[in-house]
Amino acid sequence: GENVEQHPSTLSVQEGDSAVIKCTYSDSASNYFPWYKQELGKRPQLIIDIRSNVGEKKDQRIAVTLNKTAKHFSLHITETQPEDSAVYFCAASLNTGNQFYFGTGTSLTVIP
Amino acid sequence: GAGVSQSPSNKVTEKGKDVELRCDPISGHTALYWYRQSLGQGLEFLIYFQGNSAPDKSGLPSDRFSAERTGGSVSTLTIQRTQQEDSAVYLCASSLVGSVHEQYFGPGTRLTVT
């Protein structure tokens, strides 16, 4: 089955700096890669996703890149703000399967 | 429209008791997932329902765990003879058909087994 690894597990950045979170996956058939943000005590919410037919997607300060050959994808947050502090989860899924495979999460702290 | 709802929001139970956790998915979402999230940990897949198909139970940690989905809508996760290691937040999510659509998560049920 699919195996998703996520790094780093914790990340601290100064406000205004960029943050990068990386994930790798094992099944080359995976074709959908969402990123979820979970604030303390709240439910995970989708912040951005990418499908395997594109290499990069951007939404304001957030961008995701996908390298299908290397089987890795990354979340980039620019001009970080304190409200970006949360746990971020990557995931991978196959359109022929039933499961989302989640990474173990990255706890991001943005220091004012 | 209404999002995914779960009840109860918090449940404290004694070791050995059975508990039932409820999930109401978004109307029209035929896919429903249950996850477990232990303190500071990631999302552990438990079970997946898709329409009238047989559920994918591959993530259930033991035979004390079971789930059903009635009428293709509401789902109930049952944990029998609860153990302290069952303490966690149980999250439900729903999505449109298939696993290439966004999952919408419920607020979770925090289960504490004393």
Nearest residue to A34 (alpha-carbon basis) of A107, A106, A101: A101
Confidence band for B61, pLDDT divided at 50, 70 and 90:
very high
CA–CA distance from B46 to each of B26, B92, B112 (Å)? 19, 10, 18
Alpha-carbon distance B69 to B24, whole Å?
10
Alpha-carbon distance B67 to B6, whole Å?
14
pLDDT, residue B40, reads: 75
Confidence band for B11, pLDDT divided at 50, 70 and 90:
very high
What are B24-59's pLDDT values in tens digits?
A: 999 988 889 999 998 877 889 899 998 888 898 989
Cβ(A21)–Cβ(A33) under 8 Å?
Answer: no
Q: Which of A43, A45, A96, A104 to mutate to test the interface with B (most CBs of B within 10 A)?
A: A43
Instruction: For chain B, give the mean pLDDT.
Output: 91
Distance in Å, alpha carbon of A102 to nearest chain B alpha carbon: 6
Lowest mean pLDDT among A11-20, B59-68, B84-93, B98-107: B98-107
Phi–psi pair at B84, nearest 5 degrees: -60, -35
Q: Which chain A residues touch B if contact means CB-CB below 8 Å?
A: 31-32, 34, 36, 42-46, 49, 51, 89, 93-95, 97-105
Contacts of A42 in chain B (CB under 8 A): 107
Alpha-carbon distance B48 to B55, whole Å?
6
What are A81-100's pLDDT values in tens digits?
A: 999 999 999 999 876 666 78
Positive or negative, the CA dihedral B72, A45, A47, A22 is negative
CA torsion angle A72 A43 B55 A30 (round to 10):
-10
Q: Across the interface, which of B42, B99, B108 has its CB nearest the CB of A99?
A: B99
Nearest residue to A108 (alpha-carbon basis) of A36, A3, A34, A4: A36
Contacts of B48 in chain A (CB under 8 A): 98-99
Q: Which of A100, A106, A107, A108 to mutate to test the interface with B (most CBs of B within 10 A)?
A: A100
Nearest CA in chain B to A43: B107
Cβ(A46)–Cβ(A64) under 8 Å?
Answer: no
In B53-109, alpha helices (H): none
Inter-chain contact A94–B56, Cβ cutoff 8 Å?
Answer: no
SS3 A84: helix
